[in-house]
A and B are shown apart, each in its own frame.
Chain A
Amino acid sequence: MNQANSLIEERLKTNSQVVVYSSYPLSNEDIVEIKRQIPALADVQIDNQVDKKLLAGVVIKIGSLVIDQSLRTKIQKYLKHLYE
């Protein structure tokens, strides 16, 4: 399994509030897809919030752990890479 899954599994032991940020409201199929990708989230209530600044993709936040899969962060990382 991927690294994100094991980290989330670890974190869910102490913190059960999961927030998923996305650029538009997620449909049920989207949430099923996320849970398929990250089995650790299967039995967890997911709270969906909309943040237009992400442009695309999702950000999963559990306590202080952030799994960032948004277009905004990708662009920022490439920009930083270009500057250096």
Chain B
Amino acid sequence: MAAPDLNQISEYVWELPAAGGMRVPGRVFADRQLIQQVQSDQSLVQVANVAHLPGILRYSMAMPDIHFGYGFPIGGVAAFSLDEGVVSPGGVGYDINCGCRLLATDLQVDDVKPHIKRVVDRLFHDVPSGVGASGAIDRLSRKELEKVLVRGAAWAVEQGYGSTDDLEHTEDGGALPGADPGAVGERAYARGQDQVGTLGSGNHFLEIQTVDEVFDVEAAAAYGLREGQITVMVHCGSRGFGYQVCEDSLETMASASRRYGIELPDRQLACAPVTSPEGRGYLAAMACAANYAWANRQMIMHLTEQALLQALRLSPKDLGLRLVYDVAHNIAKLETHEVAGASVDACVHRKGATRAFGPGRPEVPAGYRETGQPVLIPGDMGTASFVCKGTHEAMAQTFGSTCHGAGRVMSRSQALKRAKGRSIDRELESAGVLVRSQGHKTLAEEMPEAYKDVERVVAVMNGAGISPRVVRLRPLGVVKG
């Protein structure tokens, strides 16, 4: 398929005019160099395909970290009206509520750097990672797992793993409403019983970082961040439970699409009206998986705190570990947005995109409400990650959404070829990043040069006024699956 036409609207915004069956135009946020990378694969066709779906509002959007996905592109944002629109598991992805959690400490870089090896080894030992990682806590009974699905992060806090402050600092309080354990198939239960508190593999990680540059002093202070401070970032999702929920929903959605007469340019876009039994059923099961992921990251935070206390021989008070924020970047949610001057209830899909709600929104925790929601953007393991803030501009332009990371630029097999004969962990170590990984293959596939330049991706959303930078975080130590 030929790449669709592309018109530049402003420095960072490109438009795909509505053509053929497209109901709305497409909009891509990128600079000139990133848009050239984007044009080299089929992801713009995917942006156009999403624009075919019924009830889509305003634009089929893509963030600068866009790359080719299945059905919806990764880095895609699409909102659908509740009365005419659809919900699609392909617009969320397999790893439901894959997301990011940032922890702040009272430590400075010099408190940790001399002990970094001990810290990373301890974390690597205490937080289960790698393919099929399991066993962070005892296998959960069916009844207990159902509680996880409904209560999310609050379940973990009730078990003694964290505090209610943590819930206040988690998107949706760490639990989406409407989660129905009865909407989840048996197979998801079987896969979910022993994976709460595990990192998994692939691009998931746990990172010890330091704040190396503050761009917005006021916002940084509101988020409790300052230069030289030690932070911890966790990137993972709903593990096998979420993959299975997605898998089970695709079959239902394929037949639903046919029943409701929805024409699909790609079978992985299978969907159903938001208010149909199939649409509601998916949202109820998806909420269970989202809540599983929040319980998972809450549990990992607890394991991290225990590991840091041991490795650094500190009291909890001296460590001062607290949750800055936790965001989802693979999710569909019912939100209220302003469209053409009217308040509209919409089902917003973010697949590899982060919510970036602006100041004043009731969903933003009280302490951050004047500043805007903290946005966490993980980069590759050798470079940097960012904390940004949500804005009114994001509410006006992107349904309160922004990018979610660097985005891959090189395939896994290309990366493996590039890594041949090299020692990625030694290269990273000489650059000041200590890495522990379950497998050398994952490490090679995830090497920094396999990703787009995160600085550039973040600069686009900063320049477009969607999610201005607050601080940059540099990795000191990384645990990879």
Tell whether A pairs with B.
Answer: no
Please report A residues at the B interface, Cβ cutoff 8 Å: none
